[in-house]
Structure 1
Amino acid sequence: MSTSSLILIAVILAVVLLAALVTGVVLTRRRRISLTEPEKEPKGGYQADSGVTFATPEKVEHPVVERTEVDGQPGVGDDASVPRDSVKRGFVEVDLPEAASEVEEIEPTAGRLERLRSRLSRSRSTLGQGLLGLLGAGDLDEDSWTDVEDTLLMADLGAATSADIIATLREEIVSRGVRTADEARVLLRDTLVSALHPDMDRSVHALPHSGKPAVVLVVGVNGVGKTTTTGKLARVLVADGRTVLLGAADTFRAAAADQLETWGKRVGAETVRGPEGGDPASVAFESVKKGMDAGVDTVLIDTAGRLHTKTGLMDELGKVKRVVEKQAVVDEVLLVLDATTGQNGLTQARVFAEVVNITGIVLTKLDGTAKGGIVFQVQRELGVPVKLVGLGEGADHLAPFQPEAFVDALLG
């Protein structure tokens, strides 16, 4: 074989080997790609090894929720979209009062606070008995007066009210020549009654005038017992011979209208209600209109609870009042406060007073707190009288507030 033939064979072998090498590299790369990058699914689903085709989930387009406010006005109830950080509450289970087959007999309101005085035992042990023990011990030195001040502060009377009471006690002890425990008790009673300003008008203005019923708005934050208070107030008015119509303007909280309607049936009062989530101002308007047509003495309107820190919700409350006033004067705006909240209750009271001009305070759960001094402080801060106090869960445990009877209950 010639040299040229050998060279040709060598070249051919080299080309074959090179081609085989390149083919091997390509196959190896493809295998790596198949191991690291799964094959794309066919449109509409993917094929499992078993041959079963599973539908791939389609992308869900959520509809854009339209905001409910108009020109900055809030939406409905606590679900208002202004402000945006408002906490949305879910449905709340409410224990409805037992429905009555007929109108119930109601306990008389006269002297009710005196009959319920035992329910102030916690406040009595903290405030009344503590002060009597200190003042009846004889001559008081500065340490003793410090103890008196501490007792007043712990009972939630507040610094300003406590200072005024101490100044009066120190002056009167000298001028009256107080020496005995009985004399100290008389002095303390007079001082505490005076601090409650017994000359304030504590009547609930619920008599019709100018041919129209009196209108009472019941307002407050969530959870203080507005609906229950409205129902109990209806019992107080009916017991005093008034005819009442109830307006369920709390359209957001589940079962609020049912709860109020049950209270109304127990005293023979009609309840006006609207659709769940409806406009509370519209319900309030219809309530007053129906009350005028029916010729009742008083229309009680239960409003939705709202956080006093939420501007939009507070503006909505002002709207309810303005809408009602297109038909009749709002005679009372009763702010319901939980007596156990102390200073936070005062903060709430100030904000509500700025929005709707509070005319009276209803203090609930007064039987469950040792800080009965909140009565003194809320009146001093707002210049608004406490008109009603809640002293238990019973249907007739809402009592008209009487300064003398309250102080007597505190002192025992």
Structure 2
Amino acid sequence: MAVIIEKDKCIGCSICRSNCSFDSIEMVESIAVINHGTCTQCGLCIGDCPVQAIYKEQVEKHENCDNLSQYSGVMVFAEQRQGVIQNISFELLGEGRLLADKLGEELSAILIGTDIFGKVEDLFKYGADKVYLVEGVGFENYRTEPYCYAMEKIINEYKPEIVLIGATNIGRDLGPRIAGRVVTGLTADCIELGIDEDTKLLLQTRPAFGGNIMATILCPEHRPQMATIRPGVFKKNDPDSSKKGVLVRVHMSISDINVRTEVLETIKQGKIIDIQDAEIIVSGGRGVGSADNFNIIKNAAKELGGIFGASRAAVDAGWIDSNYQVGQTGKTVAPKIYIACGISGAIQHQAGISKSDIIIAINKNPNAAIFDIADYGICGDLFKILPILVEELNKVKNT
């Protein structure tokens, strides 16, 4: 779909150019020309044109634009690696349960792998009403073609209204490919989901324009409504061992699929502590000053029994490894206590810590944005305040 200017009708009045909020129209030899690279297709110029020389071309609708009522339910891709279901799957089941209940529909999960029947009960415990199980030789390791084939087949056959996928390395490869195959939209890296009370559409909120604003995106004309969600955004529910569900075995063979890749060997990286699982995080930013000074952050985290983190500024400066970066371009975390030391609080960082139970901020600048979202703010020198804070927290912890 694109906005088109009919050259033969254009009279060169330049009204469209003057009113374009994105400077996407220029006059070339007295004829208006649209820069489709910057045009947002807002359509404002269409109504402004006095001679109706501008229109928006229509694309042929896909079959999933019709009979939207055929689609129902919330479906979660249950990611597993080497037979272990990842935490993001349980987090999505928790949020999916809320969405399904608001719609009055069922919550299902797709589990793909080899010899993973024993993991189905875990998905029921965390809220799934139904599990679609694809199990067989060739599905043990994630590969694009087999997993896309399985997901596409299940979505086309069972027609979920909403599909949720974790924004992991696997999910970021799988999500857009599935959306392309079933011809629907995909909102990537969501940090909040909801259901519109009037339209019952999925509200998909994510950072936009470099994290400077939060955009809520809708998919009104296509199904399913698809979103990838960053790990750590939602908290998983407590498992309910009494919860049971329906198992649907989906039979398919790897021989039916054109697989162009083969996993020869899996090499595990050295153990890296995942800050997304931490209950206490002490993070440092530009205000820490240097890599050597970062030891105060690491020591404080260790004393509190937590994990250290960092803002993007600290990572970009080379003071800390990117595995410990918190924020929109790092990891989204939701600890019980988050202590931000020398972090200004750019919106990208705020997006990564907003789900924390308690945020404590230490900063010399009384106008630092981090204080806007902090539960407790301390204006002063972090090198003096942090040791005292750790000492007092340990006193409470040990009583």
Q: Which has the higher helix share?
A: 1
- Asked which structure has the greater CA Rg, the reply is 1
TM-score by length of 1: 0.29
TM-score by length of 2: 0.30
Structure with larger RCO (C-alpha < 8 A, sep 6+): 1
Q: Which has the higher strand share?
A: 2
